[in-house]
Structure formats: C-alpha cells, structure tokens
A and B are shown apart, each in its own frame.
Chain A
Amino acid sequence: QKEVEQNSGPLSVPEGAIASLNCTYSDRGSQSFFWYRQYSGKSPELIMFIYSNGDKEDGRFTAQLNKASQYVSLLIRDSQPSDSATYLCAVKGSGYSTLTFGKGTMLLVSP
C-alpha cells in the first residue's frame, strides 16, 4: 500500500515568516512529486512539481526532494495571510500510476 504522510496541522506562522511543510512517502520507486494548495471550499490547485533530488524554486515557493530519505517539503517564504490553506502533497510512481495524496497540512498565516 503506497502511503503519503503529512502532519495535519494546523501549522501557524506569522506574516512574513517562512512556512515549512513536510511530506514523507512509502514507495521508494516514486518518480514525481507534487504540491497542491486547497482553499476551504475550493478544489486543489497545483503549485509545484519536482522530479529530481534537490531544490526547485518558483517565486516564494521552494520544493525540496530527498529520495534517499523519501522526503519532500515545501517552503513558503514571506508568508502572507492569503497563503492560509491546506497543502496537499501528492506522489506518483513510475508509469501511468495514479497520484497518491496525503491528507494535507493546514497552514494558518496570521497578520
């Protein structure tokens, strides 16, 4: 059974701080890793994907992947109240397998 684990939170950070969201996965053969943001009452929205070990930066977001540790994280710099949402980690194995989603971490950014 492929599993993706996330701390449910809430993770509370003050405005302007760095928010660090973490995710571990069980399938060592996983190839692709995704972070989605879901606002309350809305559907998930893709933020970033990462395939290779290391860091990938996109604006205020940085995804970090460590396949040896089976760990992927999302850093949000200069957090804003509008970043308050649930962040879903998703992992895909090789081939055309479906995404396995974590249950999500709720992030609260206070003004």
Chain B
Amino acid sequence: GAVVSQHPSWVICKSGTSVKIECRSLDFQATTMFWYRQFPKQSLMLMATSNEGSKATYEQGVEKDKFLINHASLTLSTLTVTSAHPEDSSFYICSAREEDTQYFGPGTRLTVL
C-alpha cells in the first residue's frame, strides 16, 4: 500500500510558539491531503482539506489563521500551529489520497506546555 510519513512524530513546545508538522506521500503523488485532529478517546476530526497549489478548505470551527496549511508540491503538505496553547495539545494526523483511497500518516503528538 501507499506510504505516508509525518514529521515530527512528537513535539513539546512552550505556549505561544509555533509548530510546523510535515506530511509526505513517499511513493505516490497526492493532489489532495487531509489534516485531522484526535483528542484522547475521541473520534477523528477533519480539520482541513488541502489541494496542491491552492488554498486549503477548512472545516467549520477550525481557525484558518491559527492552523496554516501549505500544500506546495504533490508530495508535501505542512500544517503550522501558530501561537500554540495548551488546548491545542492533541494528536495530529495527516492523510493523503491516492485515487479513491486515503492513507494515513503515523501522526504527530503535540504537547503545549
């Protein structure tokens, strides 16, 4: 199956700093990538859909100025959490679409102190 990587796998930062998470499709080109967030014992929540070369589409309630998404190439999308606060601590998971199927990255665990 297709492989999606994420970096870093975990990050701890201080409140007020920004954190960038990278998502790469390793063996296929992904026109569309997705960013999810998952709090402990809760279900996946889609944050935004990113299309290569265009602006991301954010789900209702997700602040686009806080969660900056860039999809500059067919194999790389980045999510930047700006001015992170403790309530942003969560498991962030990207997903890349190949034809009809979505493949998930291993996730990034963000802890904001």
Contact = CB atoms under 8 A, between A and B. Distances in A.
Interface of A: 31-32, 34, 36, 41-46, 49, 88, 90, 92, 96, 98-99, 101-104
Given A34-B101, A88-B44, A101-B43, 20 more contacts: A31-B100, A32-B100, A32-B101, A34-B102, A36-B104, A42-B107, A43-B104, A43-B106, A43-B107, A44-B44, A44-B93, A44-B104, A46-B1, A46-B102, A46-B104, A49-B100, A49-B101, A98-B34, A98-B49, A99-B102
Contacts of A102: 43
Contacts, number: 39
A43 B93 contact: yes
Given A43-B93, A96-B32, A104 B104 contact: no
A101 B95 CA distance: 13
Given A46-B1, A98-B34, A103 B43 contact: yes
A42 B105 CA distance: 10
Given A34-B101, A43-B93, A104 B43 contact: yes
B112 interface: no
A27 to B, nearest CB: 15
A35 B30 CA distance: 21
Query: Which of the four size classes fits the interface of chain B?
Result: 10 to 19
B58 interface: no
7 cross-chain pairs, A with B, having the tightest CB-CB distances, nearest first: A43-B107, A103-B43, A43-B104, A43-B93, A44-B104, A32-B100, A43-B106
Nearest to A96: B32
Interface in B61-113: 91, 93, 100-107
Contact of B100 (A36, A45, A92, A104): A92
A3 to B, nearest CB: 13
B19 interface: no
Contacts of B34: 98
B111 to A, nearest CB: 13
Nearest to B92: A43
Contacts of A88: 44
A28 B107 CA distance: 32
A42 B107 CA distance: 7
